Chain A
Amino acid sequence: MTLRVLAAMSGGVDSAVAAARAAEAGHEVTGVHLALSSNPQSYRTGARGCCTLEDARDARRAADVIGIPFYVWDMAERFDRDVVQDFVAEYAAGRTPNPCLRCNEKIKFQALLDKALALGFDAVCTGHHARLADGVLRRSVDLGKDQSYVLAVCTREQLAHAMFPLGDTTKADVRREAERRGLAVADKPDSHDICFIADGDTQRFLADRIGAEKGPIVDTSGEVLGEHDGAYAYTIGQRKGLRLGRPASDGRPRYVLDISPVTNTVTVGPREALDVQEIHGERPVWLAEPPAAPRDCQVQLRAHGEVYDCTATPDGDVLRISLRTPARGVAKGQAAVLYDGDRVLGSATIAATFSAASAVRAGA
């Protein structure tokens, strides 16, 4: 069946090949580059971004080679509101957000998809590395490049209009294919950093927006061990750069256990205190049928992170996830994505974590 497909083209190799495949499959494809910065940079400043003039040019050039119409859509306002400001607000609240995930949820498969559908398109095509067939989302065959984690926040309705043509192909093969198709972006480097932080300096980006207010670093008993320059600059599980005045009484290294923006306090403690046994997720999204009873499956707690065996139990608006083996350094605000093998079951935003001891207490 021929579909009218809107291909989101970032200017990178993946989205270019995805658009080319959709066109080759006989769909009527139109390329769109999203202008996400109201103040685009003319040239790359070190780190790779996805909103430079050069990227728009690369995307246009790829569309011309593929032979599809191409437009630039200005989504800078939506992106700033739903992704950038959300990113800052989450950090200010002591959580660790994943902006790529939010961009998929709010921009690519909401703002863009809504506009596409209204304009008469049937689907939005992207270069994400994930497999999607009959509403079932699976990991890419290239596990190193798999992006099912950042797509797992999308609802069934959103994914019903999504198209990921690259899920069955490794990144290396995508590059080879781009070369074969004469796409100049074939050897363009991968993007890794947060696209709206051009120089990659997240701390300074946050400091400029939240301010850097000094506060105490304390241990679990509340004793002050040092001072920090802004609580958001820390992530759960961080060991380096704590600049504590004196060693712990037991001489062992200390890790960030908790960040409390309300009291501007960073709590540190021993490594084992990072062990998380149970996770409570909020705003669950189910791609599979929501389980009526506790379900044994696997969970991934951050992008490209480890996978843990678990039991997931829906409990009203909360998703309780009990881990078989403890996970270390689990940050609130990240997504907990449930898998059955390579199939995505659903996801929830991590709202609370419990150590082995407290999990026992919670269960008592």
Chain B
Amino acid sequence: MVYLDHAATTPMLPEAVEAMTAELARIGNPSSLHASGRRARRVVEESREVIAESLGARPSEVVFTSGGTEADNLALKGIFWTRRSAAPARTRVLVSAIEHHAVLDSAQWLAGHEGATVEHLPVDADGRVRPDTLRAAIDRDPGTVAVVSVMWANNEIGTVQPIAELAAIAREHGIPFHTDAVQAVAQLPVTFATDAMTVTGHKIGGPVGAGALLLAKGLDPVPVLHGGGQERDVRSGTLDAAAIAGLAAAMRLAVSRRAAEAERLARLRDDLIARVRQAVPDVVLNGDPDDRLPGNAHLSFPGCEGDALLMLLDAREVECSTGSACSAGVAEPSHVLLAMGADLPRARGSLRFSLGHTSTQADVDAVVEAIAPVVERARRAGAA
């Protein structure tokens, strides 16, 4: 099996499995006062310290969540509510047009239920939000912006955003800046330097179901989940000590190995792109050719349906993704590619190969061997 869908989820690192399963066998609610609780709390707090250190944050800035989607919801909704309470004029939510649906749909929900005005920041042909675009959007009326959210690196096309520049522009106006960094951690040097940042376990070799929202001191979002008051009252719910231990183990390793791993993945990825291009000369690389996630190759094959390509590769035991959202299982053209100005055929005829820590040269060779006949078949089917 050739697994090239690490952006969807990546295998857990053995060390993370070990840390998690060890903790699963133990008893203790980290909020309890007795010895069992204290023991579990120690696991959680040490994990928090590991994660903070790995990301250049303070332990008190780490709020554990069930994953990326929850963290994005908390960031968008929670910060919006807090900011609007302080000044009712702050109703504008600025998000890039290529955000993950966890951000886009949270913003849309605020528009539908909380009177927010959502503005989608356009991207250039490579899928990048230009700093001037954000500046112009804020400058139209800085006092009315509640929150800005731009992802660190895009999950579909892999383009890396100029996060430092964008965050600095928001900071000039004292506007909270959130970034979804779930794809960036473990592949790019990620340091917590915005007001809020989403990370998740299962994209870096940790478990599904554990993630965190990093929140700068002083930023207190209104909670989405109410209850026992855990996580400094921002996110209630019994802490999942086992999953958090797995997340921390994965984070420590992923970040410490990152530089070498990124170089290795980029080499494999560049080889994949170059040789696919030899086999299918009219293939189009989507996203920034240089400033992209090292494990990401997002390609459009003219005249093909992405669905057909995916199925034919699946039959040859090559697993990848069309990278687009589903409704009723029907592939919709990617909002990311459309936002970049791609036409419908290019948006529909695309595949995402995403490499990760288990990827090898043999995986790349398998894609290269399969791609020409698969594309030829898919083209015939596209013409049928």
Chain A nearest Cβ from B37, distance in angstroms: 41
Contact B330 A35 (CB under 8 A): yes
Contact of B330 among A60, A72, A115 (CB under 8 A): A72
Chain B nearest Cβ from A191, distance in angstroms: 18
Contact of B314 among A69, A76, A114, A118 (CB under 8 A): A69
Chain A nearest Cβ from B48, distance in angstroms: 39
Contact of A114 among B315, B377, B384 (CB under 8 A): B384
Contact A119 B330 (CB under 8 A): no
Q: Is B331 an interface residue (CB 8 A)?
A: yes
Tell me, in angstroms, the Cα distance from A230 to B377 when the chains sit together: 49
Q: Is B19 an interface residue (CB 8 A)?
A: no
Contact A74 B377 (CB under 8 A): no
Contact B381 A53 (CB under 8 A): no
Contact A117 B329 (CB under 8 A): no
Contact A56 B315 (CB under 8 A): no
Contact of B377 among A30, A35, A73, A118 (CB under 8 A): A118
Contact of A119 among B308, B327, B328 (CB under 8 A): B308
Contact B329 A60 (CB under 8 A): yes
Contact A71 B328 (CB under 8 A): no
Q: Is A326 an interface residue (CB 8 A)?
A: no
Q: Main secondary structure on chain B at its contact with chain A?
A: helix
Contact A119 B307 (CB under 8 A): no
Q: A118-B377, A119-B308 are in contact. Are A74 and B384 (CB under 8 A)?
A: no
Q: Main secondary structure on chain A at its contact with chain B?
A: mixed
B383 proximity list for chain A (CB < 8 A): 118
Chain B nearest Cβ from A23, distance in angstroms: 14
Give the interface residue-count category, chain B: 10 to 19
- Interface code A27-71, partner B: CB below 8 Å = 1, 0 otherwise? 000100101000010000000000001001000100000000101
B267 proximity list for chain A (CB < 8 A): none
Q: A35-B329, A35-B330, A60-B329 are in contact. Are A115 and B384 (CB under 8 A)?
A: yes
A40 proximity list for chain B (CB < 8 A): 327-328
A30 proximity list for chain B (CB < 8 A): 311, 315
Chain B nearest Cβ from A296, distance in angstroms: 41
Contact B329 A72 (CB under 8 A): yes
- Interface code A83-121, partner B: CB below 8 Å = 1, 0 otherwise? 000000000000000000000000000000011011110
Contact A119 B311 (CB under 8 A): yes
Q: Is B74 an interface residue (CB 8 A)?
A: no
Q: Which residues of A from 301 to 316 have beta carbons under 8 Å from B?
A: none
Contact B312 A74 (CB under 8 A): no
Contact B381 A118 (CB under 8 A): yes
A76 proximity list for chain B (CB < 8 A): 330
User: Of residues A71, A74, A119, which shows the largest number of chain B Cβ atoms within 10 Å of its Cβ?
Assistant: A119
Contact B311 A72 (CB under 8 A): no
B226 proximity list for chain A (CB < 8 A): none
User: Of residues B310, B311, B314, B330, which shows the largest number of chain A Cβ atoms within 10 Å of its Cβ?
Assistant: B330
Q: Which residues of B from 289 to 317 have beta carbons under 8 Å from A?
A: 307-308, 310-312, 314-315
Contact A118 B330 (CB under 8 A): no
Tell me, in angstroms, the Cα distance from A61 to B377 when the chains sit together: 28
User: How many inter-chain contacts with C-beta < 8 Å in the A-B complex?
Assistant: 46
- Interface code B102-119, partner A: CB below 8 Å = 1, 0 otherwise? 000000000000000000
Q: A114-B384, A115-B381 are in contact. Are A69 and B329 (CB under 8 A)?
A: no
Residue of B whose beta carbon sits closest to that of A120: B377
Give the interface residue-count category, chain A: 10 to 19
Contact B311 A69 (CB under 8 A): yes
Contact B329 A118 (CB under 8 A): no
Tell me, in angstroms, the Cα distance from A117 to B308 when the chains sit together: 12
Chain A nearest Cβ from B72, distance in angstroms: 24
Q: Is B378 an interface residue (CB 8 A)?
A: yes
Q: Is B257 an interface residue (CB 8 A)?
A: no
Tell me, in angstroms, the Cα distance from A35 to B315 when the chains sit together: 21
A73 proximity list for chain B (CB < 8 A): 307
A69 proximity list for chain B (CB < 8 A): 311, 314-315
Contact B328 A56 (CB under 8 A): yes
Contact B329 A119 (CB under 8 A): no
Contact B384 A117 (CB under 8 A): yes
B173 proximity list for chain A (CB < 8 A): none
Q: Is B380 an interface residue (CB 8 A)?
A: yes
Contact A56 B329 (CB under 8 A): yes
Tell me, in angstroms, the Cα distance from A117 to B315 when the chains sit together: 15
Tell me, in angstroms, the Cα distance from A74 to B327 when the chains sit together: 11
- Interface code B326-361, partner A: CB below 8 Å = 1, 0 otherwise? 011111000000000000000000000000000000
Chain B nearest Cβ from A29, distance in angstroms: 11
Contact B328 A35 (CB under 8 A): yes
Contact of B384 among A33, A56, A71, A118 (CB under 8 A): A118
Tell me, in angstroms, the Cα distance from A76 to B331 when the chains sit together: 12
Tell me, in angstroms, the Cα distance from A333 to B381 when the chains sit together: 32
- Interface code A1-41, partner B: CB below 8 Å = 1, 0 otherwise? 00000000000000000000000000000100101000010
Tell me, in angstroms, the Cα distance from A119 to B375 when the chains sit together: 10
Chain B nearest Cβ from A87, distance in angstroms: 22
Tell me, in angstroms, the Cα distance from A72 to B329 when the chains sit together: 6
Tell me, in angstroms, the Cα distance from A76 to B383 when the chains sit together: 17
Contact of A74 among B310, B314, B315, B331 (CB under 8 A): B331
Tell me, in angstroms, the Cα distance from A111 to B241 when the chains sit together: 53
User: Of residues B315, B327, B328, B381, which shows the largest number of chain A Cβ atoms within 10 Å of its Cβ?
Assistant: B328
A60 proximity list for chain B (CB < 8 A): 329
B312 proximity list for chain A (CB < 8 A): 119-120
Chain A nearest Cβ from B47, distance in angstroms: 35
Contact A119 B377 (CB under 8 A): yes
Tell me, in angstroms, the Cα distance from A40 to B311 when the chains sit together: 23
Chain B nearest Cβ from A302, distance in angstroms: 32
Q: Knowing that A74-B331, A118-B384, A119-B312 touch, tell me 5 more A-B residue pairs with CB under 8 angstroms.
A: A35-B330, A56-B329, A71-B329, A117-B384, A119-B311
What are 18 residue pairs bridging A and B, where the CB atoms are less than 8 Å apart in the complex? Answer: A35-B328, A35-B330, A40-B328, A56-B328, A69-B315, A71-B307, A71-B310, A71-B311, A73-B307, A74-B331, A115-B381, A115-B384, A117-B384, A118-B383, A118-B384, A119-B308, A119-B311, A120-B312
- Residues in A lying within 8 Å of B, measured CB to CB: 30, 33, 35, 40, 53, 56, 60, 69, 71-74, 76, 114-115, 117-120
The 3 lowest CB-CB distance pairs between A and B, nearest first, are: A72-B329, A118-B381, A118-B384
